[in-house]
Structure 1
Amino acid sequence: MKFAVIVFPGSNCDADLYCAVKDELGEEAEYVWHAEEDLSGFDAILLPGGFSYGDYLRSGSIARFSSIMKEVKKAAEEGKPVLGICNGFQILLEAGLLPGAMKVNEGLKFSCRHSELIVLNNQTMFSTAYEKEEKISIPIAHGEGNYYCDEETLKELKAGERIVFTYGDNPNGSIEDIAGIVNEKGNVLGMMPHPERAVDAILGSADGLKLFQSIVKNWRETYVTAS
């Protein structure tokens, strides 16, 4: 399986994702500059954390206009796994690939620490390796991670079981403790915590590795075994 790690000006977690895929998962990975216009050779798309374009205007608001985003949308429409982490999640929101918006953390401070997550839905292509309601330890590092959506959107997220991860110790004020959501089709996941920084016990937790293993297993069952 081949992963594209999209690199925007200001990305700083691209190497973390690349190493998680190559060294821990044992799959192919390649950096793709944001100005590129073709993702057809990749099976999954990863949007890393960081400060794309310096987070000017709003986090992710400029990156959404990068040339590569047309291809990211195309990949999502084709059913390919698309994962946006932290700033990547913010970009997916700004691009309209996921509903809602990000506000400044409730405490108005940047938060960087391990956070407890609860696996609310373990039936997505990103979460099948987990047990339902499993508690996992995943690092966070953000100043604008306070997820918000209107009541109608929240009802839709709940009804469609699209809330994949919630915080056990809500660090930012996110509505309903939301830490990660998927689109209606279930192939686009946005999450603020960093699973790529929790793929080996030496990092303090290996709980994030199951997310990447879930992607590979479900992709192979769909595109390799089935064929």
Structure 2
Amino acid sequence: MAKKTVLITGASRGIGKAVAVKFAKKGYNVVINCLHSEDRLLQVKKELESYQVSCLSCMGDMGDMYQCQALFEQVRRQFGTLDVLVNNAGISYIGLLQDMSQDAWDRMIRTNLTSVFNCCKLSIPGMVEKKQGKIINISSVWGISGASCEVAYSATKGGINAFTKALAKELAPSNIQVNAVACGAIDTEMNQFLEEDELIALIDEIPAGRLGKAEEVADLVYHLGYKNSYLTGQVIGLDGGWI
């Protein structure tokens, strides 16, 4: 049986890297992407290949359709069509909305939301042709409840949640499942700006009494990418009971 292929955007670290490792351990061909950290991405590629799988690493801005098309052409040449797409690329912005520049807003929309549109648009035709596929979007609890001083970030994640629900209905007749994971506070570099007292206060708010692990996100993403063809259109919270 031919190996399946997964694409993970934003895979040089954190959740994206953990997801890539999970799929590699399960024998998938893995395509990894990031925008800036080429050295890190190559380190991840080396780790993935240690599991005796094929790995294609591609630098590029998935919020730019031309760069996204170039990546998908490489995927087509090396592996054919995708079986699983994991839209993980994302950035954060903390500050008052009134202080946010137009450029920062545009960059947030492009990175967090337009990238999802681009990758889905290019993945869908191959999945429809095969009558199977899985799309998993990495979202946030702030896309559900909103966060003060993270208005733009919350807006993009809320957009992803609505996008997920709508696209799932569109693709269900073609046996393609689309789901999202709404992450809570996960122990990644994105949260390392917190001072010790801020981190303690945050953990006190979480009923589970700790931050989540990137590997726990990866376990859920793999499950969504591998099993259950009837589960679609869901935004699944992974937050230790926080929200």
| TM-score for the superposition, normalised by structure 1 | 0.42
| TM-score for the superposition, normalised by structure 2 | 0.39
Name the structure where strand makes up a greater proportion of residues. Answer: 1
| Larger Rg, first or second structure (1 or 2) | 2
Name the structure where helix makes up a greater proportion of residues. Answer: 2
